[in-house]
Chain A
């Protein structure tokens, strides 16, 4: 399940726009999200205050990240767990493989984890002889289809139930081919039966973490299916993989963030399962893993922490920016190519994969600002995309034609007299081309405009010229 290799947004978007199933799934997601938002925030008058509080918690944590991580490590160790610091994807993969080998694991159960996508963990473990089973329903479907998540909390949102039924028929070949799979409960029932076998057989369970609590060394995992709990309690060994920005100082802080997480992610007040786990099984515990390993992954975070992109480390992976983004709504998450789609992907992918490859992503935004408006952590996503555009422009990564056009325009805009002279000529030309119809179907040098729309012909004359002529005595300074 390596993530998509192409970061060519235009090409990916064209494919997505031609996919009718995807389009209807996205339209539904966007509409549901739009209608749910006022209900969710309306029911909780302190929602905005909670956002401020969550931002303050994360900003404080990030300002003292080393301290809180070390406190977390000490408390995990005290509780009997092992902490592994991993700088990059390769280091994390090797560490996890070694833990699996040390425990003679054959089957690995996995609950949903975006950071495991980031390091392409499944492919690696499978290539080294392990059987890896995703246990989140969406992720399980994607694993069968050899696809990647298209949304951080609704990984299979791009699929319709008919496509999922077909996938199950193709892969669950031991079951009766004539069985009904028409309603969602047929599908979930079948998945449950299949996954139960794996939960019980798994030697190692790998989960992500929604938060790490420094003062107790606990991990917090939220799911709606309970698969996270089965993954971390049934196998002998539990491996948690989490990026270093997931730490929060206190239990109380985790609770504050939980109050905005589900509301922003799915519109729920709280997820069906919210699990706090501390250390491996103690002698008197009835269940739990014998071993607990914490993989603390950097993978570029420290670099983000130092610079102008620090705010993005507040992200709690709720996916609100994706669900609310009209560009995401037009093309879906896969069009962004990287692990994370939508506005958060447009900011994170350049950091993870390099702006030289990912420069089209920060450009794939109309800067409508809806992502920032819904982000529970108030991450200034459009502002951060603009920072990437600054870098892409400085390094001349974007298209030369676009840069030349902009340079020419800016040259004129900085010379008002020349600009006005040029404007008069251009307007006369456009007015003539527009003719009596009032519209231009094709415009020289601005082909992109007329792909989808006509260009209204200008009214005639510039406002500045006409104001001077028609409003004598009021002429400008």
Chain B
């Protein structure tokens, strides 16, 4: 036979343990590792075109006699 006082003590212990157990479970369940990282949406690059234009050659159209 369990006395009334012992039953009350058991209830208190049960409530405390159940609360700790529940809290521990919830905390672990909600743990998340953040793996998000910023994404790069665009990129650009450049290239160069070069040319050297010399002055036109003037044709000598003079005629020697």
> Does B bind A?
no
